[in-house]
Amino acid sequence: MPILKTKIVVVPLGDVDFMIVNKLAAEIGPVFNRSIDILKGMKLPTEAHNVIRNQYYATVLLSKLERTKANSREKVLGICEEDLYLPSENFVLGYSDHLSGTAVVSLYHIRQEFYGLPEDDGKIYPRLFKETLHQLAHIFDLTECKNSKCVNYFSQIMLDIDNKNPRFCDICRRKLTTQV
Ligand SMILES: [Zn+2]
């Protein structure tokens, strides 16, 4: 009997554009060769909200996401519109923990760059897609890639994200395909 591959479960956190969630869920499945479930959604937990910073603590969101897992091998991806932080960072676009198999990505800074300007819809989705692949790569045990064109390259500024390809380099892809 073949071993069933782990699912990726997508969880909208708070109010998120459902079209974006659906598109993202449909496109990440084939990349990781996994089936995808989309959960109905979860409220953003108030205990993750830092009132002083007016941001959400990414680590707390991951621990909440972990509780939605049906089994230990499932991977969970949360998507939100809110601003995320870690104590050591002003903000993060996304965060993940490979031990718990959870990741979260935020549209906040991806959209915020267009503050005062018309939003460039053509740029928002590709950036979210790339950041999502980057975070999911971590939970599939890949370390960050040194190739600036690889989607698994660390990129905190939008220019770096825009410049990288929406796919893994050959080395990263080989590492991913060796996983069950
Ligand atoms: Zn790579």
pLDDT tens per residue, range 34-74: 999 999 999 999 999 999 999 999 999 999 999 999 998 99
Amino acid at position 87, single letter = P
49-50 and 55-57: which strand pairing? Answer: antiparallel
Q: What is the pLDDT of residue 111?
A: 86
Residue 82 lies in a domain: yes
CATH number for position 135: 3.40.390.10
2 is a domain residue: no
pLDDT confidence tier of residue 114, bands split at 50, 70 and 90 = low
- When divided into structural domains, the chain yields a total of 1
- What is the whole-number distance in angstroms between the Cα of residue 103 and the centre of ligand 1? 19
Residue 3 lies in a domain: no
CA dihedral 5, 106, 47, 40 (to 10 degrees): -50
Distance 76 CA to ligand 1 centre (A): 22
Position 157 confidence tier, pLDDT thresholds 50, 70, 90: confident
How far is it, in rounded angstroms, from Cα 40 to Cα 43? 10
Query: Which is more confident, 4 or 176?
Result: 176
Please say if the pLDDT value at position 117 is more than 80. Answer: no
95 Cα–ligand 1 center, Å = 18
Report the separation in Å between the CA atom of 119 and the middle of ligand 1, taken as the mean of its atom positions. 30
Q: How far is the CA of 139 from the centre of ligand 1 (A)?
A: 15
User: Which residues hold their Cβ within 5 A of ligand 1, which is an ion?
Assistant: 145, 147, 150, 152, 169, 172
Cα(75)–Cα(16) distance, rounded to whole angstroms? 20
99 CA from centroid of ligand 1 (Å): 21
Domain, as residue range, for 32? 8-177
> Is residue 157, in this structure, part of any structural domain at all?
yes
Ligand 1 centre and the CA of 31: distance in Å? 14
Amino acid at 13: L
pLDDT of 3 > 70? The answer is no
How confident is the model at residue 85, as a pLDDT? 98
Residue 1 in any domain: the answer is: no
pTM higher than 0.75:
yes
